[in-house]
Amino acid sequence: MARKRRRRIWLYILAVIVLAILGFILYYNIVTRIDPPTEMDPKEMGYERIEVAPETFVHDKGWLRKNTYGLWEMYIEGGPLELGILHGLLAEELIKEQEVAFIDQLRFMIPSESYINFLKYFTAWFNKDLDQYIKREFLLEIYGVSSFASDSFDFIGPNYDRILNYHAAHDLGHALQNLNLVKCTAFGVWDERSDDSSMIIGRNFDFYVGDAFAENKILLFVNPDDGYKFASITWGSMTGVVSGMNEKGLTVTLNSAKSEIPFGAKTPVSIIAREILQFASNIEEAMAIASSRRAFVSESFLIGSAEDHKAVVIEKSTDTTVIYDPDTNYIILSNHFQSDHFSETELCMENKANETTVYRHERVQELIGETGSFNYHDAAKLLRDTKGKGGKDIGLGNEKAINQLIAHHSVIFKPEKGQIWISQHWGMDPYICYNLDSIFAMNGYPLDHVYEEEFIVGRDTNTFSRPEAFWLYEESRMMMAEIRMAIKNEYKIDDEELFIEDFTEGNPEFYLVYSTLGNYFQMLEQYDEALKYYKLALTKEVASATERNDIKERIQECSDEQ
């Protein structure tokens, strides 16, 4: 009898555990399910595109094509759902390629499938209320786009859930890690700092998710039924804004800042920027929109306003929004808050002490002083600068540089002239100029190019003055990936001596070349060699205090092993 009773007790406990697990799964699936904002199926609404030429698609209310410089140009018009459908319809192949590039890079960064699955479930839980913090019109647009996403990634989630969550990917990664911040640099000049007194704003969007992710950039022109017409630099499926200008000459760009770790989703910063761009005509209106939205990471919004004839920074934390106005004829923005309200907080002070943000800010200050009065050629030259303070060679790709050779895009605005310049491939490619007034005055699909040829800034010829210098650098980048793989998988590189000679020759002033070699030899337990390269790294311009301290700790570890 006692044995039967114990058996019944264990069966009862097992049943309770099974029911609890099933109940949790049911609860999880219910609370993490995000319903589309409408029951209409965009693919059943009769939208069709016509391919009029290779890589050229046309609809009555939009078109997409790749220009002679390799930049995709897209125009769409209509209401929220229609804008999303047109975006998805015209750029269907680009959307699918973009997601493949994103997932491939995610798998490269996180090779563990179990951890990727954990992130999938964590993201779904963290963002379970995401749609409650986004205006319905933007949800409709995202839903329209998502209808054209690939079904190959259903294992991550339904198309709508995935594309919606991708709009918060920057915020979530920033929030979870608070490292690997997007280290963007931006500036603006006007009045005496500009050769014609009009405002010039420039920024590098140093957002790197692998080379493939940056291949298909889109200059998107949007003519919405409600709000202002605008242009933004984006990619397939991204309806939020990271860099853009509207027909009123209001510009928005994003720069991340050190942030508190949140406990749930709020409005993604790219959606806040999109709302500002579509519905604000001046700084006051931009501030009103930014203040009305709750973000779950800290962010700086550089706002340029033709109406106000100046630029300011809207600094936004998870619970406070303020304006930083330097009250001068120029402004500089890297990745730290500058207002009296935020600049002395513990997070901001820690960020300034340990990261590259102050160094880049000071380098921009230096170049503005040297240049004096700017035109758009001068702005391009500043954004392409790869040197350190005082023109010091700090190695190509150093995070202390204005141009870290990872920029997804580089952009220049002249808000009062309605002009925008875009450069691809780290800002090395030509800056292609567009005039928003001309673009939005067009009727139908343009037969000729839509950029302003006479205002194009040519390719950069300073960073890589000789073709072989570029290829040496590219080879060094590939070798960096190879040696990191060797460290991760603990194997010795073939032809090691020749490898190291070529590796160091490609980027001889870059500290990361030597610290990575130190890591390699430490992995091989060749501590004398490791010490040699760690000490060499410290003779170069190390990007951050955190990295310098890490190198010093490794030197101590190697010394202890000798």
pLDDT digit string (tens) for 314-338?
999 989 999 999 999 999 999 999 9
On whether the 182-215+239-430+438-455 domain is CATH 3.60.60.10, my answer is yes
Q: What pLDDT was estimated at residue 368? A: 98
CA pair distance 75, 403, nearest whole angstrom: 30
pLDDT grade, residue 17 (50/70/90)?
A: low
Q: Do strands 299-305 and 310-316 pair parallel, antiparallel, or not at all (unpaired)?
A: antiparallel
Whether 283 has a pLDDT exceeding 60, the answer reads yes
Other Cβ atoms closer than 10 A to 223: 18
Q: Where are the domains of the chain?
A: 1-32, 56-175, 182-215+239-430+438-455, 467-561
Query: Which residues face 148 on adjacent strands?
Result: none
Q: What pLDDT was estimated at residue 435? A: 98
Task: Give 85-106 pLDDT, tens digit per residue.
Answer: 999 999 999 999 999 998 888 7
Domains 182-215+239-430+438-455 and 467-561 alike in fold: no
Alpha-carbon torsion, ordered 549, 551, 552, 558, to 10 deg: 150
For the ranges 12-26, 30-44, 201-215, the maximum mean pLDDT occurs at 201-215
What CATH class does 467-561 carry? Answer: mainly alpha
Q: What is the mean pLDDT of residues 516-545?
A: 97
Q: What pLDDT was estimated at residue 30? A: 44
3-state secondary structure 418-449: CEEEEECHHHCCCEEEEEHHHHHHCCCCCCCC
Structure tokens at 28: 């999880």
pLDDT grade, residue 44 (50/70/90)?
A: confident
Q: What pLDDT was estimated at residue 40? A: 86
Q: What pLDDT was estimated at residue 117? A: 74
- What are the C-alpha distances in Å from 224 to residues 79, 176, 228, 284, 537? 6, 34, 7, 22, 52
CA pair distance 85, 38, nearest whole angstrom: 13
With a CB cutoff of 8 Å and minimum separation 6, the contacts of 332 are 186, 187, 361, 364, 365, 368
CA pair distance 181, 175, nearest whole angstrom: 10
Q: What is the mean pLDDT of residues 516-536?
A: 97
Q: pTM to 2 decimals?
A: 0.92
Rounded to the nearest 5 degrees, what angle is found at the Cα of 146, between the Cα atoms of 140 and 149?
170
Whether 179 has a pLDDT exceeding 70, the answer reads no
CA pair distance 405, 439, nearest whole angstrom: 30
Locus of tokens 């004398």:
528
pLDDT grade, residue 156 (50/70/90)?
A: confident
Whether 28 has a pLDDT exceeding 50, the answer reads no
Give the chain's count of helices (H) and strands (E).
18, 17
CA pair distance 205, 190, nearest whole angstrom: 22
Is residue 337 within 8 Å of residue 301, measured between CB atoms?
no
Task: Give 117-138 pLDDT, tens digit per residue.
Answer: 777 776 777 788 899 999 999 9
Point out the least confidently predicted range of 85-89, 260-264, 473-477, 531-535. Answer: 260-264
Q: What pLDDT was estimated at residue 5? A: 64
Whether 555 has a pLDDT exceeding 70, the answer reads yes
Q: What pLDDT was estimated at residue 25? A: 41
